[in-house]
Structure 1
Amino acid sequence: MRRASLLFAWMLGQGLAGFVNATEAPLAQSSQLDHILLWGRSIDQVSGIMAVKLGFQVLPGRDPNGVANRFVRMPDRSYMELLGITRPHPKLDPGMDADQAVLHGGPGARMFGLRSPSLDQMRAYLQAQGFKPTPMFSASPNDPDGAGPSKPPRWRLFAFDTQPLSSGFFVIDYPPDGIKPHPAMDDRVAREHPNGAREVSAFWLLSADADAQRKQFERMGFTGSVAIRMPQVGARGYCVPVGSKRIYALQPEGAGAAADALRSGGPQVFGVSIGVEDLGLAKRRVERGYETTLDDYHGLLGESFLAPTESDLGLMMEFHAATTANAACG
């Protein structure tokens, strides 16, 4: 009897240990960049800039409560969600409300999302680290873009009661492709862009203290950061690996675009990096769109150029030649 009790205690201990290890295991390598929420002065203004001046394909969205959205989707499933207020007194969710409290109807981004196939485990891990994730939210069973009440919701996500970073942050996941039947050709065409865009390869987060952001990322399991400088915008900080992509946690270094943006707009999603098939073609499209000449530079992702989007979009947009390399911060 005593031997059986000891065996049961050992098995119970092994099971609990497995649960603890699963909760403690960092999930950063299974995560990816998902999207940013980019507000325009209006939905037509931000859509026009993305399409006419920058050469993206902009996909239609909806306008359920006075906030319209549209999408710029990439072949690698990353994307940019475009937002614009369409009537007085719109119905805003908490994240939108926090954005508008800072933007006051102007352009810019203050919120970003990561994608994780291990959403519940990541939430448990972050909670165990002392963060305060919200309960899980999901799309309505009757979501007009979903597959119907009998199928999994179109998306699930959690945010934070107290944000861990200088910019708003949430973690999201989607059901496997194919739950809602649609022609593969339609999906492929929706992700093709005249400027040759293939991926959103980096989010740029700007704050007054890049090291504090790095430490928060490490607490969340995103380790292996590398010190970086971005002299083209007057910034320094850290490259934080997120799966095969990266987040730049930046702060101003002297005078420049970063100092100007932080002074005028506070902490923010300062920019994005876009990988394109043909850098020369993308550059010529942007030069024609803005009727100007742009300079190349050798950046953190190789040969690159900056589109002059600060006043139009409220953020920096860097284009670089897309690569198949897997090293996130190499």
Structure 2
Amino acid sequence: HWLVEAFNEERDSNALDVLIKTVVEGNTPGLHSELSGATSNSLLLRNADIPEAHFVVRNSSTQALYGFCSTYFFKATGTGVIGAVFVDPSRRKLSIGHSLHNRAIRTLLQREGIKRFQLGSRLPSLYLGIPTGHGGERKRLRSWFANLGWNTALSRAVCSMVARNLSTWTPPPGMAKSLQSAGADFDLVYGWEYAGPVLDHIKTNNRQGLAEVYKMALADPTACGIIRAKRPEDGALVGTVVLYNMQSQLAEFVPGMKDLGGEMAGGISSPVISPSVGEYSTLLQGLILLGMRQIKQQGCNACILDYMDGDGNFDGLSAMGFATLHHFEEVSCDAATMTMLPPSS
């Protein structure tokens, strides 16, 4: 067993930057690493609502890191999350990852109010789950986590997406028209004064990390906005989506934004459509379309959708110009099932 130590920001940040770079460069040629564009800051949320604890296996004489694992506890949903676990490519198959993972689980089990465990996180948005885009790699990673006690059969496909060349982009024909028939009034608002109704509306979707993304956006009005869809008859919110730019606090946690070859990019995050809406995909398309327009107006040439359900081939997103950036499987389970893990010595 390897000695697993708590991550110490002052001591380990530079070494973590080096480890990230090593992992990215050690990736199979032609395959794009999920860690591209990330730094040690991308992993540190520093958010009072989300206690975090990260772990390293290190060489104490050279200060180099052999492996790293991040954990976050989302108090609002009682979810303990493993956000990333990665090991220096030259030190793999020595059970460094194994030791890091076991320490992470033991730490999360001690969090008061823990109900669920999850592999992958929307915030920070590096690994949304087990990466599945790389064929044989997917099988290897799934069995690695299955051997550590995760039921990988119970997984949900999620992905990140990107639309490029916004300068020449136009909405698909007919989409603007169907927007008018969506039966909603849209507006764009900034700042905490709009928080009440927005945070109430998103309670219909209790996914881990969602409320935290909205709070971060509402608290950062110079760099983030919320597009709202309202029912014309009573003004009730039926849909929302977060917009953010590269100066936002949110962008720090979406390294994909910095990884577009130096292009100016904007982000669209966390659409929530009320269950009362009949035309789900029309409204979703409408919110995303307006987001793209806004991002294009700001002079950006690329737009990131940081977290979408499914494999990206749905709701007309490809017709709107989006392609999948990374595929993942988000795996979650009851905290009770994780207590069955064999104790590590």
> TM tier, shorter chain?
under 0.3
Q: TM-score, normalised by structure 2?
A: 0.26
Higher relative contact order (CA closer than 8 Å, sequence separation 6+):
2
Q: TM-score, normalised by structure 1?
A: 0.27
